[in-house]
Amino acid sequence: MKTKSRSICFKLWTYFTVFAVVILAVLWLMQTVLLEGFYDVMQKEHIKRLADEICNTVENKELAIDNVAEKNSILVLLTDEKGNIIYSADEYSPSYNKNSYEYEEHGWDKNPYRTAYSEQTYRHLPEHYDDFLERLGDNKSICYTIEHDSKSNTLIYGQRLNDGSILYMNTSVGAIGSAVSIIRFQLLAVTLLSLAAGFLIAIFISKRFSKPISQLSEQSLKMAEGDFDISFGKGFCAETDKLADSLAYAAEKISETDKLRRELLANVSHDLRTPLTMIKGYAELIRDMDGEDSTSNDAEIIIREADRLSLLVNDILDYSKLQSGAAGFEFEKINISSLADTAAERFCAVCNTKNIDIAKEIAPYKYVTADEKRIQQVFYNLISNAVAHTKEGGSICISVVEKNECIRTEIRDNGEGISAEELPHIWDRYFTSKKVGTNGLGLAIVKEILSAHASDFGVESKEGAGSTFWFELKKC
């Protein structure tokens, strides 16, 4: 079963399987290992109850002995201390009382089951009776088994009565060794069938229980990624339905909050553009009028910082539009080789200033279906990011190659690199690290653009050894 060991599906399957194995193990233990001992104990308890039934009978004790002997196939003897038989009965005793032919033909003196008290009787004592009396001794009662062979044993029970007489009872107890063999064979078949059925049932139940929870988990992940237009499945049980309702309510509220946040960012970013333009314009005017004095230097600082703030505002507005879906995409067939070459040329001057070598490994005339302006923005952000974090004397390489059914673009540098701790978070908005840049929006914008193009993208980096950002678009 292909599933994770910590998943609810695997755990439910394991618990049900262990439960089935435990039940079968107990069944094997009771029906084979402990069966013979359990059978002996039950037989002894049974004969003790019958003896108590006889002893507790006050009137017509002989009738009680006859009934016990007949119904349970037990030989019952009532003797004195010397072994003289006072009364005897077994399962055939009632036939002599009911069928007059037997005792009329043979006479009372020939009837071994007669009920009259007399000095003589034709019922012979068992050959082990002396051993029985010796075992009984001064004990109130005794119970033991005489083993004859592998097929049968004799269960003996004796008890001293209040009037001084001795109650002797014996019954044949069949040895259950052969029965145990048969039971073991049956249990083997039952075990194999039960394990197979239990295995399948456990798989069914585990999948039945885990499926709605897995669906809720997958839908929750979509919600965490910003997709709030989802519906949570219901109908399995009350608890999961309640969880689905809670998640749906949370998705609705988070969607409303996210919408308000985007609108606020868009409005604030838009409103900041005008005063920033005014500040920059007046600062340029002051710089041009004052020439080379200190006021001109201050104005230059104002202009530079206004440019940085304008860039940040533009990024915020752009990212807000991408997230809200307000940024339209115009997909068309474009020459991505040409875009990469143009982007590299734009940064040549900056790279020369920082003494950074910029190389190109661009296969010509590679076409993809994409939004040209947005892919230009991706190139600009990734190359700008590489230039900002490559030391003087370093190198950057822009590569465009064909890979299977896609065109793969890579921007490689030998700069600072990214630590393993920061690597999973560099695409998050406003996350600032050594590699992300000043405002933490450049790579977040790249992520939104490439996600809209259904592009695979990623980064390979090691701290101190540079980084390689890549993305793939389907060729056309």
CATH number at residue 400: 3.30.565.10
Give me the number of domains the chain comprises. Answer: 3
Assess whether 432 and 448 both reside in one domain: yes
- Does residue 408 form part of some domain? yes
Helix (H, G, I), strand (E, B) or coil at 156: strand
Q: In this structure, are 377 and 312 located in the same domain?
A: no
CA distance to 77, 296, 316, per residue, from 291 (Å):
139, 6, 35
CA–CA separation, 467 and 415 (whole Å): 7
- Predicted pLDDT at 253: 79
CATH number of residue 87's parent domain:
3.30.450
* Total-model pTM: 0.44
Domain-located, residue 400: yes
Residue 338, pLDDT score = 93
Q: How far apart are the first and last CA of the chain?
A: 40
* Same domain, yes or no: 337 and 452: yes
List the pLDDT tens digit at each of the 476 positions of the chain: 445 666 666 777 777 778 878 888 887 777 666 767 777 888 889 899 999 998 888 778 888 888 888 888 889 998 888 888 888 888 776 655 443 334 344 444 444 444 444 444 446 788 888 889 889 988 999 999 887 765 678 889 999 988 889 999 998 876 555 566 667 777 777 778 877 877 787 777 777 777 777 777 777 777 776 676 777 766 667 777 787 788 778 777 777 777 766 666 666 665 666 666 767 776 777 777 755 555 666 666 676 666 666 766 676 667 766 766 666 788 999 999 999 999 898 888 888 888 999 999 999 999 999 999 889 889 988 998 888 888 888 999 999 999 989 999 999 998 888 888 888 888 876 666 544 444 567 788 889 889 889 999 999 988 888 899 999 999 88
Whether residues 336 and 320 share a domain: the answer is: no
Final residue in a domain of this structure, among 271, 301, 324: 324
Using only C-alpha atoms, what is the Rg of the chain?
49
**Is residue 299 located within the same domain as residue 258?**
yes
122, 140, 175: which is the final residue of a domain?
175
CA-to-CA distance for 118 and 195, rounded, in angstroms? 65
DSSP string, 169-211: EEEEEE--HHHHHHHHHHHHHHHHHHHHHHHHHHHHHHHHHHH
Q: How many CA atoms lie within 13 A of 385 on its CB side?
A: 32
Q: What is the pLDDT of residue 179?
A: 60
> Which structural domain range is residue 418 located in?
332-474
Task: Please say which residue of 271, 290, 324 terminates a domain.
Answer: 324
The answer to whether residues 166 and 288 belong to one domain is no
Whether 470 and 340 map to the same domain: the answer is yes
Q: Are residues 75 and 156 in the same domain?
A: yes
Residue 89 lies in a domain: yes
Q: What pLDDT sits at residue 296?
A: 63
Is 54 contained in some domain?
Answer: no
Together in a domain, 346 and 426: yes
| Within-domain flag for 298 | yes
pLDDT of residue 413: 92
Q: Does the residue 15 lie in any domain?
A: no
Q: How many CB atoms lie within 10 A of CB 167?
A: 20
> For position 290, which CATH number holds?
1.10.287.130
Same domain, 274 and 371: no
Say whether both 320 and 367 belong to one domain.
no
**Residue 153, domain member (yes or no):** yes
Identity of residue 476: C
Do residue 393 and residue 304 come from a single domain?
no
Within-domain flag for 465: yes
